[in-house]
Structure 1
């Protein structure tokens, strides 16, 4: 059910990290993958890696913030292959600082990639797939859509908004045979998290928040993406799949335990 032979996929954000891992994994399951990213050298390397492994892939320089770039890539792929079965959008940035210290330019930088970029992928792929009557769209949310961490107000806001966009858009496109879902990763070893992982104290602190007591590899996020893209997830729509090693559940359980302790103390 995970076989993607004959499927046509676009992965925007494929130059590195989670996007690169997803592109390679989709191709390994048989999909033809068009890789898009603003990083030309990186996305060409990803496509070359896929081809060297026996897969089929192309690379296109694409700025996810520009709807014209995204639409050109998606419609071009659909025109070339006669269909678009899978569309994945992974780009994301974060500027960690208290909200009161944020500048207008920093706010725009984060929201343009995380929110506008994902909107461009959702809308562009949705328009194509709604007409053809099938398809799977996947974007990347985050545990920050639910977990609270100071210094993450804008990033968390974009990821929470994206989670709700997926739920609503899934409801809109579901009757047309199109599925829309998001993956919410926990801490992953990518370029985005280098500032945290460069400090062993910070890296260890994040590991301790995870039930599995470690960071994820990008490939561990790619597996769930393959699932959501495949027929194995044919009845999964409008969902946010948390792939966080148990971070959010552990947070919730801790909060519940503290609440019980407080109630007990109060009743005594």
Structure 2
């Protein structure tokens, strides 16, 4: 007999570690998973932001607790994985961008973007992937970006890092699939978050982004939560190694001109 599809989205009794959930898309992801019943570990370097997210979840009747974590520190990441060996969901959202043309970047820019976006994801996937594989179950959701697929001037290092996240995601999906662990990437488009403040402060740049998508607008953070909940839950039990665009149709839309036809 087929299961009740609605029940497959239920995360009651499952622990979800959401890294980078003190603000932005990470916070929206944590709130969404809590709405579906998960016990959420709100992990962030920003302990005040993490506390705010915990408060929001608890005020809504959910269960959450904070966790200080630095994705650039392997020991911290490994300690978090040991502390939460029973986690069935890991969501990796931290991001950092140095918006400069390549000729203007420094090696410090390169190292920081790669260390947070790519190597930080690697550290978390490796540490939590090992415990999930040992437990025979789990879902890892990485955050790449539509910039993994298409770039613009000033996005080079970030785009390279996010493309690397996509490939790490595919690799771990193939390596841990038979051990009950699914691994998928989400590729957000133009979301209004602290990471896009620089664009918001430039009206021409901001409007150009809005007009490029098929929906002709920027996304709000909560609009990422449905994709996260789907990939975290049993509703996506046969989905692994995928790259889920949440981009308002950016990649589908040429965007240069709308002919009168």
TM-score for the superposition, normalised by structure 1: 0.91
Match among 41, 44, 53 for residue 60 of structure 2: 53
Asked whether the equivalents of residues 10 and 74 of structure 1 are also in contact (C-alpha less than 8 Å), the reply is no
* Corresponding residue SS for 1:9: strand
User: Hey, what's the Cα distance between the residues in 2 that align with 1:166 and 1:56?
Assistant: 28
Asked whether the equivalents of residues 207 and 213 of structure 1 are also in contact (C-alpha less than 8 Å), the reply is yes
The answer to whether the aligner puts 1:44 opposite 2:47 as a matched pair is: no
* RMSD between superposed Cα atoms in Å: 1.5
Deviations 1:229-250 (A, max 9, x none): 0010000000010000111111
The answer to whether the aligner puts 1:115 opposite 2:96 as a matched pair is: no
The answer to whether the aligner puts 1:160 opposite 2:163 as a matched pair is: yes
Query: Deviation at 1:74?
Result: 2.2
Deviations 1:75-117 (A, max 9, x none): 2022xxxx21100110001011111111111111111100111
User: Hey, what's the Cα distance between the residues in 2 that align with 1:217 and 1:3?
Assistant: 24
Match among 223, 228, 243 for residue 226 of structure 2: 223
Structure 1 residue runs without a partner (length 5+): 255-268
The answer to whether the aligner puts 1:142 opposite 2:145 as a matched pair is: yes
Task: Name the residue aligned to 2:173.
Answer: 170
* Corresponding residue SS for 2:84: helix
The structure number with the bigger radius of gyration is 1
User: Hey, what's the Cα distance between the residues in 1 that align with 2:100 and 2:247?
Assistant: 23
TM-score for the superposition, normalised by structure 2: 0.93
User: Hey, what's the Cα distance between the residues in 1 that align with 2:106 and 2:167?
Assistant: 26
* Corresponding residue SS for 1:248: coil
Asked whether the equivalents of residues 12 and 36 of structure 1 are also in contact (C-alpha less than 8 Å), the reply is yes
Query: Deviation at 1:148?
Result: 2.2
User: Hey, what's the Cα distance between the residues in 1 that align with 2:17 and 2:81?
Assistant: 7
Task: Name the residue aligned to 1:263.
Answer: none
- Output aligned runs, 1:1-268, within 5 Å: 1-78=8-85, 83-251=86-254
Asked whether the equivalents of residues 27 and 50 of structure 1 are also in contact (C-alpha less than 8 Å), the reply is yes
Query: Deviation at 1:213?
Result: 0.4
Structure 2 residue runs without a partner (length 5+): 1-7, 257-261
Which of the two has greater helix per residue?
Answer: 1
- Structure 1 runs of 4+ aligned residues shifted over 2 Å read none
Query: Deviation at 1:167?
Result: 0.8
Asked whether the equivalents of residues 88 and 121 of structure 1 are also in contact (C-alpha less than 8 Å), the reply is no
User: Hey, what's the Cα distance between the residues in 2 that align with 1:17 and 1:110?
Assistant: 18
Query: Deviation at 1:175?
Result: 0.8
Query: Deviation at 1:219?
Result: 0.9
User: Hey, what's the Cα distance between the residues in 2 that align with 1:69 and 1:90?
Assistant: 17
